[in-house]
Amino acid sequence: MKRRNILKAGIAGAAAGALAAPAIVGAAESFRWRMTTSFPPGLPFYQSGPGSAEWIVKSIDEATNGRLKIKLFAAGELVKWNGGFDAVTGGTVEMNSAVAYYWSGKVPALQYFGTVPFGMTFQGQNAWYYHGGGLELWNEIYNDFGVIGMPCGNSGVQMTGWFKKPVNSLADFKGLKMRIPGLGGKIYKSIGVNVKSLGGGDIFPALERGVIDAAEWVGPVQDRRLGLHKAAKYYYNTGWHEPSTTTELLINKKAFNALPKDIQAIVRHVAAAANIIAHTSAEALNGDALEDLVKNHGVKVLSLSTEVIEELRKKTAEILEAGAAADPVTRKVHDSFMSFKTKHDKWANTSSRQFAVRVRGG
């Protein structure tokens, strides 16, 4: 009888355990977030494709087994293309994807976490973020706004942009109406360009109608998607203004801190993975896109003259130093960036640049 009672108790205990286990798993807390971006729907690299906002949302969903689901909104679907910062800081949404220089009107130093004219390439920029104190400075600034920032993509060297007419000298830039954001716009303004600020979806109609004479966006894959080659045929290179443009994942700090530690880690790792995957997708696809633009759409690829480049280089140094002198936060970030650049340039000049010029013949 005792043995029967013990057996019954064991079976009952096992049954109770079996019923309890799913209840514990089912009780795992889940989260529902919203994410906006500054980019048009379907835009390669930024909104769709490897490493994009869509990729980030899907990867977080899969890695958390559905515990963190994020509803994605492209520019204009929930907030304007330049409304993401306020939406995240105000708690309207939990996340936004853009470029940090869009918010430089709030904090000028944020320019450095987008890109720096005549700055570092993808390798150097990311080395500064992850190993040179750049990421810590980024979030030191954002702490006052109750948000967290991290890299989640990088376009690499961008194209100078699309022009309706050739620009052969400095005189050709006087009075030119051009869409270009960030420090690049400020520097162009110093040589007489009439700088305009437009979201991605507004560039083509403005260029087509002659509201602007020129426009900078990203590179062949993204520019072709916007149809910019239908409005202008002169496509200039050098990438002086954006040698390495970082896409930012901006997260509401209160919402992030409410996540379990494992989900926080997943978000950080997915962003870091997107940073690499988005960049390599651009490197893989831009060559074919550029060839298509030239062969099938009559685009002429040209380079800015040495005269123009050297004047832009001079103005860049003046404007960066003036910005640093006017603001202690910018000074701190500027000095960190330039100090790291000096060290990294010594290695880059010995390694990758020597390979490009002497070995590859580029």
DSSP state of 44: B
Sheet holding 300-303, edge to edge: 194-196, 177-179, 214-215, 161-163, 234-237, 300-303
- Looking at residues 9-27, what average pLDDT do you find? 39
- Looking at residues 58-67, what average pLDDT do you find? 98
Task: Give the β-pairing of 300-303 and 234-237.
Answer: parallel
State how far the Cα of 297 lies from the Cα of 6, in Å rounded to an integer: 83
Closest to 112 (Cα-Cα) out of 338, 273, 286: 338
Domains defined for the chain, CATH in brackets = 31-155+244-284 (3.40.190.170)
Encoded amino acid at 26, one letter:
G
Indicate if the pLDDT at residue 19 is higher than 90: no
Indicate if the pLDDT at residue 20 is higher than 50: no
State how far the Cα of 317 lies from the Cα of 261, in Å rounded to an integer: 43
What's the pLDDT at 348?
87
- Looking at residues 249-264, what average pLDDT do you find? 98
Among all chains, which residue has been given the structure tokens 């944020």? 110
- Looking at residues 154-175, what average pLDDT do you find? 96
- Looking at residues 185-194, what average pLDDT do you find? 96
Q: Percent of the chain, pLDDT > 90?
A: 85
Residue 360 binned pLDDT confidence (cut-offs 50, 70, 90): low
State how far the Cα of 145 lies from the Cα of 110, in Å rounded to an integer: 13
At 236, give phi and psi (nearest 5°): -95, 145
Task: Determine which helix (DSSP H) or strand (DSSP E) holds 251, and give its type and residue range.
Answer: strand 246-252
Helix (H, G, I), strand (E, B) or coil at 46: coil
Quote the longest CA-to-CA distance of the chain: 105
Cβ-Cβ contacts under 8 Å for 311 (sequence gap 6 or more):
170, 191
What's the pLDDT at 336?
98
State how far the Cα of 105 lies from the Cα of 243, in Å rounded to an integer: 21
- SS3 breakdown of the chain: % helix, strand, coil, rounded to 5? 55, 15, 30
Most confident of 10-14, 25-29, 113-117: 113-117
What's the pLDDT at 362?
52
What's the pLDDT at 354?
77
Indicate if the pLDDT at residue 1 is higher than 80: no
Beta carbons of 97 and 54 less than 8 angstroms apart: no
What's the pLDDT at 136?
98
What's the pLDDT at 18?
34
Beta carbons of 133 and 290 less than 8 angstroms apart: no
- Looking at residues 258-272, what average pLDDT do you find? 98
Q: Can you spell out the DSSP letters for 133-176?
A: SHHHHHHHHHGGGTEEEEEEEE--SPP-EEESS---SGGGGTT-
What's the pLDDT at 17?
39
- Looking at residues 126-135, what average pLDDT do you find? 98
More confident call, 17 vs 213:
213
- Looking at residues 204-209, what average pLDDT do you find? 96
State how far the Cα of 127 lies from the Cα of 307, in Å rounded to an integer: 31
What's the pLDDT at 299?
98
Residue 361 binned pLDDT confidence (cut-offs 50, 70, 90): low
Nearest-10 crossing angle of helices 261-297, 53-63: 150
Tell me the per-residue pLDDT of 324-354, one tens digit each, with 9 for 90 and over. Answer: 999 999 999 999 999 999 999 998 888 877 7
Residue 278: Cβ within 10 Å count = 27
Tell me the per-residue pLDDT of 273-310, one tens digit each, with 9 for 90 and over. Answer: 999 999 999 999 999 999 999 999 999 999 999 999 99
State how far the Cα of 238 lies from the Cα of 159, in Å rounded to an integer: 6
Task: Note the pTM of the prediction, 2 decimals.
Answer: 0.86
Closest to 53 (Cα-Cα) out of 29, 20, 22, 75: 75
Indicate if the pLDDT at residue 356 is higher than 90: no
Residue 361: Cβ within 10 Å count = 6
What's the pLDDT at 352?
79
Average pLDDT across the chain, whole number: 91
Indicate if the pLDDT at residue 235 is higher than 90: yes
State how far the Cα of 309 lies from the Cα of 295, in Å rounded to an integer: 27
Torsion angle, CA of 253/254/256/261, rounded to 10 degrees?
Answer: 120
What's the pLDDT at 21?
36
What's the pLDDT at 349?
86
What's the pLDDT at 184?
92
Closest to 89 (Cα-Cα) out of 142, 53, 137, 37: 142
- Looking at residues 134-156, what average pLDDT do you find? 97
Helix (H, G, I), strand (E, B) or coil at 304: coil
More confident call, 69 vs 353:
69
Tokens (6 digits) for 289: 């896109």
Indicate if the pLDDT at residue 7 is higher than 70: no
